[in-house]
Structure formats: C-alpha cells, structure tokens
Amino acid sequence: MSDPWWDNAVIYQIYPRSFADSNGDGVGDMPGITSRLEYIADLGADAVWISPFFVSPMKDFGYDVADYRTVDPAFGTNEDFDELLEKAHSLGLKIMIDMVLAHCSDQHPWFIESRKDRTNPKADWFYWLDPKEDGTEPNNWLSFFGGRTWTWDTNRQQYYFHNFLSEQPNLNLSNPHVMDALMDICRFWLDKGVDGFRLDAIHTAKADNDWTDNKSRKRVDGVRPEREFEYQSQDSAQLNQPSIQKLSENLRKLADEYGDRFLMGELDGEDAVAVSKTFTEGTGRLHSTYNFDLLRWDGANVGEVRDIIAGLAENFNDSNSISTAWANHDMARVYDRMALKIDVPDDSREDFAHMLIQLSTSLIGSTCIYQGEELGLDDADRLRRDQLQDPWGIHRYSKTFKGRDTCRTPMTWNSNQPNGGFSGDADVESWLPVDERHIAKGGFEQQGKQGSLFERNKAHLEWRKDQAAFMNNGQIDLLDADDDIIAFNRRADDGDASVLCLFNFSDTTKTVQGVNVQPWSAAFK
C-alpha cells in the first residue's frame, strides 16, 4: 500500500445489520462480520468501513446514537468488536468506523438532561431557540427527512434543531464542552486501534448561531425537486458553514497524535467539489472527503460521468484528497441507477458491473465499494410498503421511491442455507427480507468460481496493486474520445509510470489509440 495507506485504498463498506447474522436473530452482528473478513481480504480490499454499531434506539438504524462508547446489544459486545479488530489487522485489513458527530439520539443522556429545563448543566449542549412572536418556528429551514428542522418541547417551551429526524437533535458544536466530549469519544476508539473514521454528514454539523432563513434554490425552469429540502439553497446558514472547520481541525489534531489514522468526511452541496476543498485544504483538516457526484439518484450518462471525472482531475490531481463511490447504504444499487440513463442489455449486465468497479478503482484517491457491489447484486426494488423499515422511505414512499431499504437487504452467501446464508435459522425472519434473486449470486457462491464477477473483480484489484501509476499519488489526464468512451491516462506523480484507461459504454467494439475495447468493458495499456 502507498504511504499514507489511504491515498489509493479500496475501502469495503459494511452495513452491519445486513452483512452476516451469527446468532440467528435476523440481524447482522460483529461476530458475523468477523467470520467474513477472510472473504473481504480475498477480494483485495485494503480497509473496511463499518456503518454505526453503537447503542441506539434505531429510529434511523444506528445513525441516532445513544451511547458512543458501547456496541449495541443487537450487534454484540465491545469484546466482539475487539476480536473483529484483531482479526482484521491479522489479515492486513484496516478498520474504519462511522462516527456521527453532527447529531445524536434524543435518548442520549446528554439530550435527556438538556431538555429538562433551561438551567441544567447541559442546557446549551443542543440548539434551543424561542419561537417567533406568533409561536412558529425560528426560521424556514427544512429537514432532509421531511417537514421543518424544528420540534417543540413542552418542558423548555422552546424549539430544538434537527437536520434529520426529530429524534436526532443537532449537537451545539459552538459549545467547547460538546467539542471536547466528542474528541474524547473519538480518542476512545482510536485507543482501541481503529484506523480511521468515516464522518457522517459532517456538512450538517452546526458550530455557529446564524439562523438566517434559507433562500430558494436555483433550478431548471419547469423542473420540480423531488424532495422538499431541495427547494432551498444548500449554500446557506444551515449547511457547509465555515465554522464547521473547527470540528475538522480538532479531529485532525487528534488523528495526527496517532500517526496513521484516516479521516474521511461525508458531505454534499450544490457544488460538492468546492465544498470538499474547504474540508481538506492545507494540512490541518480532513484527509479526504466522500464525494457524492457518482452517487446520483437518477444515475448518470456517459457524458455526465466524464464531466465528473474532469472535475475530480481539475481539483484533486496530486492531492488525492477525495474518496469516490458508485454505491452506499443510502442509494439504490448502482447497476439499477445507471440503467436509468444507460441502456445495458441483460446479457451484458455483469460486464457492465465489472467495468464500473474497474473505473472507480482507476480514479485518484480512495475508492469505496459497498457490500454486494462486487457481486453485482440487483436493487431489491420489489419490497412492499409494509416491509419497509427506513423512516425516510416510509415517509416519502411512492411508486418510484421506496427509500433506502432496497440496497440494505441482507447479503447472501450460500444458496443451500436458510436466508441465503445470511442467517442460519430457517425459522427466524431477517430484519428485511432476503431478495431471492441474490441467493444464486451469494458471496461464497461466487468466491473461487472461475469467471464469476467476484473473481473478475478480485483479479482486477490484484493487477491494480502492481501498477505504480495507480498506487502512487498521481494524476488523471482526461483524453478526447468517442461519445461512448471514457478515456484517460492515470499517471504517477513522478512521471515514471502511466496507464491508458479505456471504458466502453456501448454494445460495439471501439478502438482507441490502437487498443480494441470490447462492448461494456475496460481496457488498460
């Protein structure tokens, strides 16, 4: 691996509820993850990012934390995590955990105390504002999950602020005691030996007292946003404020004490690239940001993908301070989303899936692969409304939108075991139904099977690690090509190594610089 290890790392994301259930209760857990680490190492990943597993009432399935220092009993114990960490390190895998620092659960002791009255020791650990003269909310801000960002509390006779669910109050990061408490929590996990943090929705953190109304968002005439909050500008007092950088700077000081710990911040904005640069500029902030440009709800056509890559090259060549992904736990499966813009024949679907992983792992910076992406799993869009668990999906359900559960259904492993090998107990229902289409594509079904998508992806990652142009801090030089081709040179920063990377988004063979590129395939020279 390069130095630092994260510069060109392949990071495998695990959604713990849905990865592997070791005790047959229908929910994935820490021992289940530990039992599958050899599989991840065999694929060729460098690191594992685990979505939140802390004590939580699970209103947002772990992203509402009630105790940051304890593994939720649904997932096991702290000792189980210690065993997972030790096993991962013995296999050469780094472990990153998902830290939720912008908000916590309304069941966290901090908030329970804060809401008692206006004079308790934690009264200002959250944002409490008085109503307007007419009793309405302090401003016009909208929540990502629907409705306003304000909830009335009868004890304090005030509104409290939350960017997501009302059960997820935002922490007051302008309070130094709150900042210190969060740094202590991060230190707790660093002392255990975790190798880095994925910082959830860090752009939604609030570290100032500016409550200016949001302006309406500029949009194409006649195009109505699908989600309420998209009517308002994200370049506002609500999101991505300069004051947030106090949090990123404190995190960097802490991480630097440990030498080789990675900070990857999740964020978004109307110009996500420009926002990303504010979080990584200089040497005292985050190492990288998790970029959403390839994670479009409605997919992307070839020209749009090419433009995204051009933007990454223009802004992050040499710095490598970017992390890209086609998929995660918040989006429909990538192959289904991309099919909204690109017509891929059914018999070419696996070639297309393989090419997408080849493309993302050829870009600068680190690459995140979401569980099942390496297997080409379909989006579980056949879920009925009564089967949904995701609060956002339930709130916004429509014929075209079923929320985030469609990508969160359990991983499958063996076709000859109950629940596709996710859980060994045939009498227990998994927390979300297993998609029957996934069973034949299970991880252990494909691992070791010549020609399977898993083995093809594994072979590519093995080849990649031998290419100095990919493994050293470097650049992308985008090349002119046919409309169906994405072409670029991937160069090491010393100029001694270069690979021509070609990706054919069509059903006919193309020739670029004397290299034939098969339909729905990549070629490297």
Catalytic residues: 200, 257
The rounded distance, in Å, linking the Cα atoms of 219 and 179 is 36
DSSP, collapsed to helix, strand or coil, labels residue 96 as strand
H/E stretch holding 31: helix 30-34
Q: Which residues contact residue 70 at a Cβ distance below 8 angstroms, ignoring those fewer than 6 apart?
A: 54, 55, 78
Residue 48, Cβ density class (10 Å: 0-12 exposed, 13-18 middle, ≥19 buried):
buried
Q: Which residues contact residue 101 at a Cβ distance below 8 angstroms, ignoring those fewer than 6 apart?
A: 171, 173, 182, 199, 200, 202, 205, 247
The rounded distance, in Å, linking the Cα atoms of 440 and 449 is 12
The rounded distance, in Å, linking the Cα atoms of 24 and 21 is 6
Structure tokens at 167: 């059960």
The rounded distance, in Å, linking the Cα atoms of 346 and 298 is 19
Q: Please, are residues 106 and 126 in contact by the beta-carbon 8 Å criterion? A: no
Q: Please, are residues 189 and 144 in contact by the beta-carbon 8 Å criterion? A: no
- Give whole-number Cα distances, 196 to 6, 12, 101, 372, in Å: 10, 13, 14, 22
Q: Please, are residues 13 and 93 in contact by the beta-carbon 8 Å criterion? A: no
- What letter represents residue 511's amino acid? T
Would you list the DSSP string of 231-293?
A: GB-SSSSSSS-GGGHHHHHHHHHHHHTTSS-EEEEE---TTHHHHHHHHHSSSSS-SEEE--T
- The percent of the chain in helix, strand and coil, each rounded to the nearest 5, is 30, 20, 50
Would you list the DSSP string of 387-406?
A: G---HHHHHH--SS--TTGG
**β-pairing, 10-14 with 366-370?**
parallel
